[in-house]
Amino acid sequence: MADPALVVRLRQAGPIPLDVAFECGGREMLALVGPSGSGKTTILRSISGLYRPAACEVRCNGSTWSDTESGAFAPPFRRRVGMVFQHYALFPHMSAAANVAAAMGHRPAPERGPRARELLALVGLAGLEARMPHQLSGGQQQRVAVARALARDPEALLLDEPFSAVDKATRQRLYGELGQLKSRLAMPVILVTHDFDEAARLADRMCLIDHGRLLQTGTPGDVLARPVNVAAARIVDLKNMFAARILSHDANRTWLDWNGRKIAASPHRQFAAGQRIVWAVPSTQVLLDRPVAGRAGQGENRLRGIVARLATLSESTSLAVRLAGADAPELSMTVPAHFVRRTGMRQGAKVAVRLLVEGIHIMDGEHTQQDGKSATPPSGFHRAAS
């Protein structure tokens, strides 16, 4: 990054393990994504000064907030950070305007009321200044919390699971509002979430965090489709993940032996012939064909199987197809519900699937189990589609 506004480097062995280093640009939203207990909130607290790791460096717009080497440490009240907590932490006895004004101790008293009204208007709450928190919906309380965070005239905005306390419909609306607000803010924004769809929709880049360790940084599309290793693939819940061996390479393909099935992938020449690897394919890169007799199993990456399970939700249907073969692996995919209705697709139907060559991602598999076994992602983690 040419000119990062926020630079963060944190390391300690315990009691909360940390090993992260990242940067965030002045108009960028960076998502810290990982399962519950992975250390995401501790990272935010370290940036804000509420937590002090054994080794830390935090710099914002050229100012040093933390530096273990030099001994520099700015307490939270000296850091211009706006923070939105998971449950908003509004003062229940104060109006919306008073909650916002309470964060303006750095401003002269006569300026606080007008500035509070200005910020509430910015987040779409003009006319609701006098309402108490209990008179506001969850989405409105979230907007007050954002206005209060901005009342500090921050140099960085930290959002800790800001949408977890609202319903799905409100969350979808708030996504759009935050996106519009972000375009007007000239500051780095750090979003903590465990929801990959949320991060993909809102963030410019994401950092994948597990047990306090930074596994991968990149655009949401890259991290979700091309995890850097098996640990990262499990974290992002990449469902179609299997062990195989490299057969060979040619000009346009890397060929895999997947328990006797010959699979074509885009070139991955960093892996040697005979090397054990793990390959993965997002469910969006698995295509389902009509069950036409005599055609299944013909063509590149075309495989035969039967529908093991299917579940329709709104306009899409999730399918698990069990492939032919002694190992009987299953592939997950999502197809339009109208396709299932039109073809009369049902459990037990014979189908053909095709794996898109460009969608196959190969990772080092030295530490995986027996060939052909699907790697199981951890429980308690969610996203709509891999």
What's the average model confidence in pLDDT over 11-33?
A: 92
Q: Specify whether 259 is located in the same domain as 148.
A: no
Shared domain check, 281 and 144: no
pLDDT of residue 290: 58
73-82, 172-181, 258-267, 273-282: lowest mean pLDDT where? 172-181
Length of the chain: 386
CA 267 – CA 251 distance, rounded (Å)? 8
Q: Which has the higher per-residue pLDDT, 173 or 259?
A: 259
- Is residue 372 domain-resident? no
Indicate if the pLDDT at residue 370 is higher than 80. no
* 158 & 92 share domain: yes
Please tell me the predicted confidence (pLDDT) of residue 292: 52
15 by Cβ neighbours in 10 Å (0-12 / 13-18 / 19+) ranks as exposed
Q: Which of 230, 251, 274 finishes a domain? A: 230
Tell me: pLDDT of 67 over 60. Answer: yes
Q: Among 191, 176, 91, 179, which residue's Cα sits nearest to residue 141?
A: 91
User: What's this model's pTM, rounded to 2 decimal places?
Assistant: 0.79
Residue 369 lies in a domain: no
Q: Judge whether 385 lies within some domain.
A: no
More confident: 96 or 2: 96
Percent residues over pLDDT 70 in the chain: 90
Residue that is last in its domain, among 183, 200, 230: 230
CATH code for position 273: 2.40.50.100
Which one has a higher pLDDT value, 67 or 174?
67
Q: With 60 as the cut, is the pLDDT of residue 37 above it? A: yes
Residue-level pLDDT at 58: 96
Mean pLDDT of the chain: 85
> How does 266-303 read in b/e, with b if 16+ C-beta sit within 10 Å?
eebeebeeeeebbbbbbbebbebeebeeeebeeeebeb
Report pLDDT for 162: 80
User: How far apart are alpha carbons 179 and 300 in whole angstroms?
Assistant: 41
pLDDT band at residue 139 using 50, 70 and 90 as cut-offs: confident
pLDDT at 90 over 50: yes
Same domain, 258 and 355: yes
State yes or no: pLDDT of 369 exceeds 90: no
What's the pLDDT score for residue 140? 87
Give the CA distances from residue 104 to residues 72, 146, 162, 216, 317, in Å, rounded to whole numbers and listed in that order.
25, 14, 21, 37, 51
Q: Is the peptide bond before 15 cis (omega within 30 degrees of 0)?
A: yes
Span 299-318, average pLDDT: 87
pLDDT at 218: 93
CATH number at 122 reads 3.40.50.300
Q: Is position 332 within any domain?
A: yes
Inside any domain, residue 217: yes
**SS3 call for 169:** helix
Does the pLDDT value for residue 86 go beyond 70? yes
Distance CA 171, CA 177 (A): 10
- In this structure, the answer to whether residues 206 and 301 fall within a common structural domain is no
Spatial distance between the Cα atoms of 286 and 319, rounded to a whole number of angstroms: 11
Give the closest residue to 213 by CA, choosing from 7, 5, 22: 22
Does residue 249 share a domain with residue 224? no
Looking at the fold, whether 220 and 262 belong to one and the same domain comes out as no
Structural domain total, the chain:
2
Q: How confident is the model at residue 342 (pLDDT cuts 50, 70, 90)?
A: confident
Are residues 103 and 66 located together in one domain of the fold? yes
Residue 358 carries which side chain, given as an amino acid letter?
A: E
What pLDDT sits at residue 70?
93
Residues above pLDDT 90, as percent of the chain: 44
48-62 average pLDDT score: 93
**Is the distance from CB of 202 to CB of 175 less than 8 angstroms?**
yes
Answer yes or no: do 204 and 124 share one domain.
Answer: yes
Give the mean pLDDT of 190-199.
Answer: 88
What is the predicted pLDDT for the residue at 161? 86
Domain shared by 206 and 290, yes or no: no
Judgement on whether residues 279 and 191 belong to the same structural domain of the protein: no
Select the more confidently predicted residue: 163 or 106: 106
**Contact call for residues 34 and 192 (beta carbons, < 8 A):** no
| Residue type (1 letter), 88 | Y
- State mean pLDDT over 149-160: 89
Q: Would 374 be classed as within a structural domain?
A: no
Q: In terms of residue numbers, what domain contains 306?
A: 240-364
Residues 6+ apart with CB under 8 A from 4: 23, 24, 25, 188
Tell me which of 39-43, 84-88, 142-146, 186-190 is least confident. Answer: 84-88
User: Highest-confidence range of 210-219, 227-236, 298-307, 336-345, by mean pLDDT?
Assistant: 210-219
- From 199, 230, 261, give the residue that closes a domain: 230
Q: What is the DSSP string of 128-166?
A: -TT--GGGS-HHHHHHHHHHHHHTT--SEEEEESTTTTS
Confidence of residue 293 (pLDDT cuts 50, 70, 90): low
| Res 379 pLDDT > 70 | no
pLDDT bracket for residue 177 (50, 70, 90): confident
**Is the CB of residue 223 less than 8 Å from the CB of residue 214?**
no
Confidence tier at 377 by pLDDT (50, 70, 90):
very low
Is 118 domain-assigned? yes
Helix, strand counts (H, E) of the chain: 9, 21
Using the predicted structure, report yes or no on whether residue 27 has a pLDDT greater than 50. yes
**What's the pLDDT score for residue 165?**
67
- The pLDDT assigned to 371 comes to 35
What φ, ψ does residue 299 adopt, rounded to 5°?
100, 165
Three-class DSSP category at 57: strand
Domain annotation covers residue 386: no
Are residues 162 and 62 part of one domain? yes
